Each structure stands twice: as C-alpha cells, then as structure tokens.
A and B are shown apart, each in its own frame.
Chain A
Amino acid sequence: MLSSPWRSDFPALAVLEAQGEIYLDSAATAQKPQALINALSGYYTSGAANVHRAQHTTAERATRAFEGTREKLAAWLNVPGADQLIFTRGATEALNLLAYGLEHLVRPGDEIVVSALEHHANLLPWQQLALRRGARLVILPLDLAGAVDLPAARRLISAHTRLLAVSQLSNVLGTWQPLTELLPLARAQGALTVVDGAQGIVHGRHDLPALGCDFYVLSSHKLYGPEGVGALYGRREALAQLRHWQFGGEMVEIADYQHADFRPAPLGFEAGTPPIAGVIGLGAVLDYLLTLDETAVAQHEAALHAKLVAGLGKRRGLHLLGRPQAALASFAVDGVHHGDLAHLLTEQGVAVRSGTHCAMPLMNSLGRTGAIRVSLGLYNDGADLDVFFAALDRALEMLA
C-alpha cells in the first residue's frame, strides 16, 4: 500500500490534496513540517533580534538558537566542529562564495573540472571563474547510466587540475555520482574538491569527513526547511584558503577608514544580517528529522522510487533519462513535447517539473529540448503515483 506515516506531519499535503493537487516536485523544493511552522512563529512571537551583536537577552536567545542550528547541522553531517559550517542564502550562494573565495588560487592555464550533469549553480560560477582567470573548464562525460565515466575522469583529471566540482546526486538523472572513486583522483593531483549536495543531502545521512571532500554545499529548502538558507562545509585546511568575498556587518574584526581585518570562518563569511528565523527553522527541521526512523524513511523512499521507475518503464515510447537510482526520474516520450505533457498533467492537478531543469548543457548533450521530472519526498504515498500514472495515461491518450 505504500503509505507514508509522516505525511500528516506536513500540513500542506492535506491542503493540496483538498484542492485536488498531488505534489511530485520535491526536488525543486520540499513541503514543510509543522515543526518548522511552529519554530518560525515561535521565534517571531517571542521576540526577534539580530545575532552576534547586542548583549540584551532577546539577542542572546536568538544567537543561541542560531548557533544551535550550526551544531545540529554539524552533528547531522558528522562534522567535528560546528565552526566548519558557514551559513549562506542557499546552495547557489555557497558555490558562488567558493568561486570567489578560491579565485586567488586559480592561475592562467589551470583546469577546473566539473561533470556534464551539473546544475547551472555548480557550472556557471566555475565557468565564469575560468573566464576571469584565463583557466580552462574541463567537462567530465557521463556513462549511459548517467554517472560520471570513471575511465574518462582518470584521463581528464591531471596535474593541471586545480579544482573538481561535482554533484552528489543528479537533480535531473537521479543518479548517485561515484564520489568515492572520483574525489581521490583529484586529491592525488593536489586539487581541491567541491561536492554539490543540494539533492544528495535530502536522501540519507552523509558523513562528510568520511566522504573526503574539501567542501560540501547544501540548501535548506530541499531538506524540508525554509528557503533563503544554505550551508557550506569545509575541511579546516580548505576553509583557511578562502579569501573573504562579501563585506560588511559582523564579519569584520577591526575596521578603520582605509583598512580592515576580517574574521575567520564561519563568521567572516557571513556578512550582513543572516536569515535568522530561517536558520532557527532549519534547526527545528533537523530536530524533527532526528525523530524519524532513518531505516524506515530509506525503505519508504526506495519503495516509492522503485514503483515510479517500474511504472514509467511500462509506458510505450517513454524513455527514462539515465538510470535513476533515487529520489526522482526524468523522462521524455517519443513524438510528444514535454510542454504538452506538462500542460495536461497540470490540468489534472499533478505538480511535476518540465523543461531543462537548470541543466541546459546536459539536455543538449542528451539530445533533448527538455524532459518531465517526477520527484519524491518522504511524505509521498504510493497513491500519489497512482494518480500521476492515471493522469499520464490520459494525457498521452489525448496527445496520441
């Protein structure tokens, strides 16, 4: 029957259902648990204050809650020190921080290596950095399943490589990337490694020190938390190489008119007033997620995903993009434009994504103008997929 025991923890699911809508777009952004809504309203009703500034009690309370999230996130990711986590406005900002903060290490002729499946957020900052510094952007090709092709990676990652930036879980193909093999290739060349965990963090718990990357980025809103919050993890030695990139507020240690000294990570990279309520909200979401049975969540998600992939596989003329392993599946149908399918699915109250999924170069390389993506959250039921499949069949029949 595949029914999610956690569905009722997310009030929006019932509201959407009452409106005849099925939410299958969690990879874009996830619905939020009641625990988050309570934390946000609790923070605003009990007194907002800026953090790391004033001494009054309200500010102290806010700062404690804000820093509490840093510790919870560190524990979630098995990071030894909370000061290895910098709060940003999202995964995109974290990646831009890296592309500016590491710019001084990139010299003309150096190579920055990314994979062919990167989200624009993990492509454009590096592309633009390469253009600014006269470096070369090297693209790792994919195998047919939709994972980085390791033999090709072994050839392309070389002594010229300064930095490798790859996704953990593809937002288009739903494939886990072979980080255990890839990261050592870069490390062996003395290159820095960046993992885009925007999708990966949502599925399973990850041990970042064990993963062995220098940097890891994530977004709160995909992990059932509020938007406007992201985080950047760094190994201590890697964080020490970052130059400051945004200036103002409490990131400064001493300032006079002509000169200033800045704080180290994390505060030195959190210029301006941070999204305080959002960060506190993320802490409440982590508390909530900690109450769930990790194995049960993983099993439920795997069963839903298997049902999704099996069902798609039964439709004639339908092609999956890559071989999806988790969280989502993207597909195209022979002779049917994805925009038409999306239109008719929307008419039937099914929320999916259509288009290029912020990965235009990937779509071009797959020879597609776009695709439909169905993505799952822990609150989805098997029945959501039944509704989707019925709507898909109806749409395909109309477009035949």
Chain B
Amino acid sequence: MTIDPSALPAAAQAALAEFGAAGGWEQRARLLMSWGERLEPLTDAERSDENLVHGCESRVWLVGEDEDGHWHFRGSSEARLLRGLLAVLLARVDSLTADELQSLDVADWFAQLGLSRQLSPSRASGMNAVLQRMRDKGRERR
C-alpha cells in the first residue's frame, strides 16, 4: 500500500525526494553511502550477538525502543551500502506503532525509492529479516 507522501516522517520524505532525483545507479549508490553515514551510532555493547539480525549477507545489528506506543529503531551494519539501505528503512519506519509495522510493505518502499534493482533477493531477504525483527519486537511488548 503506497501512502500519501505528506503523511510520512520528514526523513522518509527527504529520502523520496533525494532518491527520486538520483540519475543512475552510481548516484543512488553514493546517496546510499551518505545516508548510511548518518545513521545514529550504536555503542560497542549494542553490537552484541543478541542484537544481530540473522538472515543477512553481512552482519546487521538492530535495537529498538518503544516510546509511548511509537517505535524508534537504531541499527548498523559492517557494509556501507547495507547501512544505507538500513538508513532509508529506518527513516520509513520511524515512530510507527506496532500495528503499522505489521502492515508495512518494505518492497514497495524500496521500489518508491528506485532501489528495487539494488535489492538482490539475498539483500531483500536481509531487509525483510530486519523488518521481521522490528515486528517481533513490536509484538513482544503487547
């Protein structure tokens, strides 16, 4: 389900605008890397086995906090482009409720950014694994 862009968090709107203006694979890759650099850092303690998301080609860590029913996630990866993909995913899911997380369509979000092709099935399943972890966290809290 594609929702009205104006209803999206500011960072997600920025992602749509920036990636929408990107000309080719090279620009998109550079954008991904710069988004990746802006991820809120994780502490060494947060890069724990417990926070490791299984099912990704490269290691990805994810932590999340429930702030009055709205989820805020932070994450990181060893690979820069994966950090970028994570950053644009985090931009989209920021402050969603557990219910909204359940119904989010990641593939659609990456398609809107023109990143479908960059999501190989293995990387897409990595992003799906990240989303699944977010959903599980949302569910645990209820």
Contacts and interface: CB of A to CB of B under 8 A. Distances in A.
B81 A343 contact: yes
A343 B59 contact: no
Given A346-B120, A347-B118, A355 B57 contact: yes
6 contacts: A337-B79, A339-B58, A339-B78, A346-B120, A354-B57, A370-B58
Interface stretch (B4-12, B22-30, B61-69, B98-106): B22-30
A337 B78 contact: yes
Contacts, number: 42
B80 interface: yes
Contacts of B118: 343, 347
A343 B29 contact: yes
A347 B120 CA distance: 10
Contacts of A399: 80
Interface residues of B, number: 16
Interface string A388-400: 0000000000110
A369 interface: yes
A26 B25 CA distance: 26
Nearest to B85: A343
Interface in B37-83: 57-59, 78-82
Contacts of A370: 58
Contacts of A346: 120
Contacts of A343: 29, 79, 81-82, 118, 123
A398 B120 contact: no
Nearest to B24: A347
Contacts of A342: 57
A398 B57 contact: no
* Among all A-B residue pairs, the 5 with the closest Cβ atoms: A339-B79, A339-B58, A337-B79, A347-B25, A343-B81
A344 interface: yes
A268 B58 CA distance: 43
Given A338-B79, A339-B81, A347-B118, 16 more contacts: A337-B58, A337-B79, A339-B78, A339-B79, A339-B82, A340-B79, A340-B81, A342-B57, A343-B81, A344-B29, A344-B81, A346-B120, A347-B26, A348-B25, A369-B78, A370-B58
Nearest to A395: B29
Contacts of B79: 337-340, 343
B57 A340 contact: no
Interface of A: 337-340, 342-344, 346-348, 354-355, 369-370, 398-399
Interface of B: 25-26, 29-30, 33, 57-59, 78-82, 118, 120, 123
Nearest to B28: A347
A200 to B, nearest CB: 27
Contacts of B58: 337-339, 369-370
Contacts of B25: 347-348
A380 B58 CA distance: 29
Nearest to B123: A343
Contacts of B120: 346
A370 B79 CA distance: 11
B12 to A, nearest CB: 22
A355 B59 CA distance: 11
A16 to B, nearest CB: 16
Contacts of A337: 58, 78-80
Contacts of B29: 343-344, 347, 398
A351 to B, nearest CB: 11
Contacts of B59: 369
A225 B25 CA distance: 35
A339 B122 CA distance: 11
Contact of B26 (A338, A339, A398): A398
B28 to A, nearest CB: 8
Contacts of A340: 79-82
Contacts of A338: 58, 79
A251 B33 CA distance: 57
